Amino acid sequence: MKREEWLRPYIRTHYGRFAVIAALGVLTVLCAGSLMFTSGYLISKSAMRPENILMVYVPIVLVRTFGIGRAAVHYIERLVGHDAVLRILSKMRVRLYRILEPQALFVRSRFRTGDILGVLADDIEHLQNVYLRTVFPSVVAVVSYVIVIAALGWFDWAFALLMALYVSVLVFMMPVISLWFTQAKQRQMNRGRNGLYRKLTDAVLGMSDWVISGRSSQFVQSYERDEAEVLAIDGALKSFARWRFLISQCVVGIAVLSVVYWAGGRYAEGEIAATLIAAFTLVVFPVMDAFLPVSEAIEKIPQYQESLQRLANISDAGDRASTAGAEERQIAGQPAAAEETVRLASEFAHIRLDRVRYRYDAGGPWTVDDLSLELPQGKKVAVIGRSGAGKSTLLRLIQGAVVPEQGSVTINGVNAVAYGNYIPRVISVLNQSPHLFDTTVANNIRLGKGDASDEDIRRVAKQVRLDALIESLPDGYRTPMQETGQRFSGGERQRIALARVLLQDTPVVILDEPTVGLDPRTEKELLATIFETIEGKSLIWITHHLVGAERMDEVIFVEGGKIEMRGTHAELMERYPRYRNLYHLDRPV
């Protein structure tokens, strides 16, 4: 993904708007300059005895016209500019979401949470400022520069060239110096702030562990030290900005004195009227205001480059995921599953894994090695094994989130990856830490089916045996869950997540260790509820424990990505001493 692609497509799309914005910006400068020019002439003319009233009446009208015009044009410029930029910002956020969404199952392993927060909080905003604070002011300044020098050259080309030299300090020289000085500093600043995002994210997520370990003060000191480094860089940038402001104001002062001297000389030679001395002098101030922001605008380019780099990295990951998906769909013989195929799979799904092999790194060990599995509709399979055995990768293969390097994963004969975004209509998942949002109980359950009625929500709540608890609360189903569902216990949170799964009503349900962290009694009660409510559905149960294994149609023991043992619970108990030992360790008499 090329960096420019986060800028150029929007420039091409909104080219007409940008041209209007630039024209309005130049018109604002011209109105401001005309206002001061006319005001200077009016003041000078009023100090003398005018030949007739029209000599001051016309300038009075022009002063009012340019004054109102400047405010009106500037307002329209801002309105059109912000409208265009907010449209672009909206499209950027949607684009970023569409890049991240297909990687939802891997987003935490591929990206650091702090980096994602940095992108969402800062980087998109920085790209918004590319237009508002860099592109538009720079274009307006350059166009105004050409117009002003050309207009001054109509009176005196020699003096126009002198003024062109003065103004070039503001429009060209100072911006180049600013860019050179701030380039490294801005990059350090962005890296430092991004690091603070990551550190603060880790601290918030692991705050209790910091406190329990007795090292909370150590974290605070470390964070304050890093923050001080960022503040030191910020201080250096601000110091440079103050010096730049001083130099720029000195240039403006020299320009004003030069105009006074030139205008006085032209009057002495009889080439201009005395009333134009003040007019030429006052016009310098609003015109210079158009040139002063250019240095500040250009110095932000390194900041934009850092933001573009992070967005490009995320885009690259999205492109790789899309390419892998496209390759697998090509293998499937169709770009995506047809609507009728999806509809049938949402009612009846036969899952088949045939000699599947997958690894995360080319040349590395196989995470899943020559694994075959048949899961007709209604079958219940438990997949057990130690951490790192390949159980989670197996789930991702079934969901079509990753593409097998060898073999195939099909649902009703169609490659799983071909279902793409429709896979939630076929497979639902209850994992060990489902996220509960800071909204009502009803809204959290409704996540399983957006158009579910209140009656549907009450029905699934009753199925998971939460109806009595919820109805006993003062606000019932409108009770806020609080952040991450803190209002409820671990078992209750899992039941709410199970209600989502039931509301989703898919033919296949994946249980990814949903009882981890629960006490034995709560675990037993939750498993009983799960097995009761998903009767008739296909079940893939990933677990470390063997509690409830006797209720499965098949138990598979995975080791190093391969199936070491498989069969019913009774068969494994009879044939494999290792399985018996594991079962007795899990279920001591």
Collect all residues with Cβ–Cβ distance below 8 Å to 243 and sequence separation of at least 6.
Answer: none
Q: Is the model's pTM score more than 0.85?
A: no
Counting the structural domains of the chain, the total is 1
Collect all residues with Cβ–Cβ distance below 8 Å to 431 and sequence separation of at least 6.
Answer: 512, 513, 514
Full pLDDT tens readout for the chain, 589 residues: 344 467 777 777 888 888 999 999 999 999 999 999 999 888 888 887 766 677 788 888 999 999 999 999 999 999 998 888 888 878 877 777 766 665 555 555 555 555 565 566 566 666 777 788 888 888 999 999 999 899 888 888 888 899 899 889 988 998 888 888 887 787 777 777 777 777 777 777 666 776 776 767 777 787 888 888 888 888 888 898 899 889 989 999 999 999 899 988 888 888 888 888 888 899 889 888 888 888 888 877 776 776 777 677 666 655 555 554 444 444 444 445 677 888 888 888 899 999 888 887 777 788 888 888 888 998 999 888 877 778 888 888 888 877 888 888 888 888 888 887 788 888 888 887 777 777 888 888 888 888 888 888 888 888 888 888 888 888 888 888 776 667 778 788 888 888 888 888 889 988 888 777 677 777 777 788 888 888 888 889 888 777 778 888 999 988 888 888 889 888 988 898 888 888 887 765 4
Position 517 in a domain: no
Position 463 in a domain: no
Task: List the structure tokens of 224.
Answer: 């304050």
Position 192 in a domain: yes
Here the CATH number for the domain that contains residue 290 is 1.20.1560.10
Nearest to 538 by CA among 374, 401, 391: 374
Position 477 in a domain: no
Read out DSSP for 408-443?
EEEETTEEGGGGGGGGGGTEEEEESS----SSBHHH
User: 3-class secondary structure for 519-572?
Assistant: CHHHHHHHHHHHHHHCCCCEEEEEECCCCCHHHCCEEEEEECCEEEEEECHHHH
Position 105 in a domain: yes
Task: List the structure tokens of 277.
Answer: 């001395």
Domain housing 188: 3-314
Position 468 in a domain: no
* DSSP category for residue 504: H
Position 145 in a domain: yes
Position 432 in a domain: no
CA 287, CA 28: separation in Å to the nearest integer?
10
CA 502, CA 445: separation in Å to the nearest integer?
9
